[in-house]
Structure 1
């Protein structure tokens, strides 16, 4: 992937308009301007992520962090002239990690939901996705309507967009007691293979990636839970930082870099740039 050699004019203008703060300032209590100034001063953007969420951000066979979001975040860092530090977190504790200042943003295939729009200052939507149901390829199960879920055991990840879509489904009351949540989708898939759940509710980009690496052991059910899109979550006050990242992503889309990254990980361009 080509490297971006220079800090863009727009990033320089954004960074240059704010006075620098000390490295010891408290990110959790900073205003948006202060947070942007601190980023300029420290030269590091700390990204919180679930490091098991392939192909967005995960560990390869050597234990290195790789993925679409890893490549995109590093490219944004080059545009902004800052280093990017990736901080693995417990996904269920992401709100605390962000509010306490341990990370600057949540960037790891995070779906846009009404609750997250309320909780965070979200970037533009940058990637298309769907929430799907998957089962074993040799299973007789094939969900064609929500009504069938009442007779099935369902697995999904805790605090995920898939769980929120299940909870928001019109038939939720009929299958609510059948849902098991897991710390990671890897564990949910293991339970699917062991027969402890019949289907899993999962992000399409993750499910299809996992299936490709499982030699087609899974299949996608006909019924899906709905369309989805990913965004980056910042603290409510960190609008200047959010806007700078948005500007950098737009530049990466315009110069073709984002498309190159998408093609590398998905074989097609599913990058978008839409306001939340």
Structure 2
């Protein structure tokens, strides 16, 4: 994720936050609890269903037999990051990444099986063979490209979210001494570390970076005003604003836009090419645009070309 305490007045929280709290308790990073999503269906609660796409035999042939043999791809995912990947009120795994991942699976003739995990541990699980693909709003950056291959599929920035009305007059230019919530393992953690160093170098107090395992906890921290602000991916903050009826708002514009990437273990022959080809086919046939529209992602992040290991 460009990426990603609790409880006070729970009765005032929207359904998505309550569902996220229940889910977040299980997001301990073990990945032991998997949720299978057939390649032909998303289970999403949004009104629009995404039509199934046809298998592409040429792309399917590029998937290593060791992965294709059981008919499924095991996907590591932190399901606390609405609208990209989350658990809905019916307990189903849904979201932009889920719909797009399922469509990729259809192109490759395989079922995607999503396993919930702590975001900070997913790439390690990919390296160890626990997962065969990771799709969880990972921002493409040079550090990640050293250890995994990545296929780009959307471009998102970072947004600053604050409680409604911005009662503490928070601004991105001066977070020194403030309590800022963020999800563990995200690029926003590094961003805040750099900003905090600038604060102390200028003789100001350091930023109090409050890290949480699940993005749902970050959102709740701001809603309940236990944190003065949060940093998260722009689609995530936009969705939190909608789902909380404006209890959260943004300050300024998104910044440091970079592509999301599907992560794959290096050295697996033509597997990465198969995934890149599948995403490109979905862009070309219009399925990708339908999925973005369904989940309300900003069209400004739309990609026309899925790239393997793009420059961030």
Among 90, 93, 97, the alignment partner of 2:121 is: 93
Aligned to 1:29: none
1:187, distance to aligned residue in structure 2 (A): 1.2
Q: 1:172 to 1:65 in 2, by over 3 A?
A: farther
| Cα separation, 1, equivalents of 2:193 and 2:145 | 17
- Structure whose residues are more often helix by fraction: 1
* Alpha-carbon separation, structure 2, partners of 1:222 and 1:53: 21
CA contact (8 A) 2:150 2:264 kept: yes
Name the residue aligned to 2:180. 154
Question: Displacement, 1:198?
Answer: 0.8
CA contact (8 A) 2:181 2:209 kept: yes
Mapping of residues 122-161 of structure 1, within 5 Å: 122-123=150-151, 125-146=152-173, 148-161=174-187
* More moved, 251-260 vs 236-245: 236-245
Change (3 A) 1:267 1:154: closer
Could you say which residue in structure 2 is the equivalent of 1:215? 245
Q: Which range is displaced more, 171-180 or 77-86?
A: 171-180
- For 1:176-222, what per-residue CA distance to the aligned partner results, in whole angstroms no more than 9, with x for missing partners? 54111011121122222333221101111011111101001111112
When residues 52 and 175 of structure 1 are mapped into structure 2, their CA distance, relative to the original with a 3 A threshold, is farther
**What is the aligned partner in structure 2 of residue 241 from structure 1?**
271
Q: What is the TM-score with the length of structure 2 in the denominator?
A: 0.75
1-side partners of 2:213 and 2:66: how far apart?
Answer: 33
* 2: CA distance, partners of 1:225 / 1:184: 22
- Relative distance call for 1:175 and 1:71 in structure 2 (3 A) is farther
Contact 1:55/1:209 (CA < 8 Å) preserved in 2?
yes
Aligned mate of 1:163, from 178, 189, 194:
189
Aligned residue number for residue 4 of structure 1: 53
2:253 corresponds to 1:205: no
Q: 1:130 is paired with a residue of what secondary structure?
A: strand
Which SS does the other structure have where 1:226 is aligned? strand
Question: In 2 relative to 1, CA 61–271 (structure 1 residues): closer, same or farther, beyond 3 Å?
Answer: same
Q: What runs of 5+ residues in structure 1 fail to find an aligned partner? A: 16-35
Report the CA distance shift for 1:187/1:245 in structure 2 as closer, same or farther (over 3 A): same
The whole-number CA distance in structure 1 between the counterparts of 2:214 and 2:82 is 11
Matches of 1:8 and 1:150, distance apart in 2 = 52
Kept after mapping to 2: 8 A contact 1:129/1:203: yes
Identify if the C-alpha distance between structure 1 residues 260 and 172 changes in structure 2 by more than 3 Å, giving closer, same or farther. Answer: farther
Question: What residue is the counterpart of 1:19 in the other structure?
Answer: none
Q: CA deviation at 1:102?
A: 1.2
1:83 pairs with one of 106, 111, 131:
111
* CA distance in 2 between partners of 1:158 and 1:122 (Å): 20
Is the 1:166–1:225 Cα contact (8 Å) retained in structure 2? no
